[in-house]
Amino acid sequence: MLKSDIVNNLMALLLLLQTGSALCAQTPEKPTTTELDRSMVTSQIDVLMQKYYPADEPGAALIVVRNNRVIFRKAYGMADLQLDCAMEPGMCFKLGSVTKQFTAVAIMRLVEQEKVSLANPLTAYFPEFPQADSAITIRHLLTHTSGFDDYIDFAHIREDVSLQDQIAVIREQERVAAPGEKFHYSNPNYILLGRIIEIVSGRSYADYLQQKLFEPLKMTSTRLGDQATAIPGLVSGYRQRDGQYINAPYMSMTHPWSAGGLVSNVDDLARWQAGLRGGKLISLASLKQCFTAFTLNSGESAEYGYGWFVDKWKGRYKIAHGGGVFGFVNHCLFLPQEGLYVALLSNRIVPDAVPGTEGIAEMVAAIAIGEPFELPDRTAITMSEDELQRYAGLYRIEGMQGEGPMAIRRIMVENEHVYFGINVQRRIEIYPESKSLFFIPGVSGTIRFEFEENGKVERLIQDRSDGSELVGMKAEEK
pLDDT for residue 91 is more than 50: yes
46-83 pLDDT, tens digit each: 999 999 999 999 999 999 999 999 999 999 999 999 99
What pLDDT, on the 0 to 100 scale, is given for residue 39?
85
405 with 311, same domain: the answer is no
Task: Give the start-end residues of each E strand in 205-363.
Answer: 223-224, 238-241, 244-247, 262-264, 309-313, 316-325, 328-335, 340-346, 348-349
What pLDDT, on the 0 to 100 scale, is given for residue 18?
47
What pLDDT, on the 0 to 100 scale, is given for residue 13?
55
229 with 276, same domain: the answer is yes
Q: Is residue 41 included in any domain, yes or no?
A: no
Instruction: Output DSSP code: residue 400.
Output: -
Structural domains counted in the chain: 2
Q: Is residue 39 included in any domain, yes or no?
A: no
pLDDT for residue 7 is more than 80: no
Please report, rounded to a whole number, the percentage of residues in the chain having pLDDT higher than 90. 78
293 with 147, same domain: the answer is yes
pLDDT for residue 17 is more than 80: no
Q: How confident is the model at residue 243 (pLDDT cuts 50, 70, 90)?
A: confident
Q: Is residue 33 included in any domain, yes or no?
A: no
170-199 pLDDT, tens digit each: 999 999 999 999 999 999 999 999 999 999
Pick the residue with more confidence: 397 or 23? 397
394-450 pLDDT, tens digit each: 999 987 766 667 788 999 999 999 999 888 767 889 999 999 999 988 777 899 999
CA distance 270 to 276: 10
Q: Is residue 78 included in any domain, yes or no?
A: yes
364 with 394, same domain: the answer is no
Q: Is residue 34 included in any domain, yes or no?
A: no
94 with 180, same domain: the answer is yes
127 with 235, same domain: the answer is yes
Question: CATH number of the domain that 402 lies in?
Answer: 2.40.128
Question: CATH number of the domain that 164 lies in?
Answer: 3.40.710.10
- Provide the pairing of β-strand 309-313 with 316-325: antiparallel
429 with 464, same domain: the answer is yes
pLDDT for residue 11 is more than 90: no
What pLDDT, on the 0 to 100 scale, is given for residue 20?
37
Please report, rounded to a whole number, the percentage of residues in the chain having pLDDT higher than 70. 90
Residue finishing a domain among 368, 403, 427:
368
Q: Is residue 301 included in any domain, yes or no?
A: yes
Q: Is residue 375 included in any domain, yes or no?
A: no
146 with 286, same domain: the answer is yes
Q: CB neighbours of 100 closer than 8 A, spacing ≥ 6? A: 190, 259, 260, 307, 321, 323
What pLDDT, on the 0 to 100 scale, is given for residue 32?
42
Residue finishing a domain among 368, 402, 424:
368
Q: Is residue 265 included in any domain, yes or no?
A: yes
Q: What does the mean pLDDT of the chain come to? A: 90
Residue finishing a domain among 341, 368, 395:
368
pLDDT for residue 100 is more than 90: yes
What pLDDT, on the 0 to 100 scale, is given for residue 401?
67
14 with 159, same domain: the answer is yes
Q: How confident is the model at residue 28 (pLDDT cuts 50, 70, 90)?
A: very low
DSSP string, 173-191: SPPSS-TTS-----HHHHH
353 with 392, same domain: the answer is no
**The domain containing residue 324 runs over which residues?**
3-27+46-368
pLDDT for residue 30 is more than 70: no
What pLDDT, on the 0 to 100 scale, is given for residue 198?
98
331 with 452, same domain: the answer is no
354 with 452, same domain: the answer is no
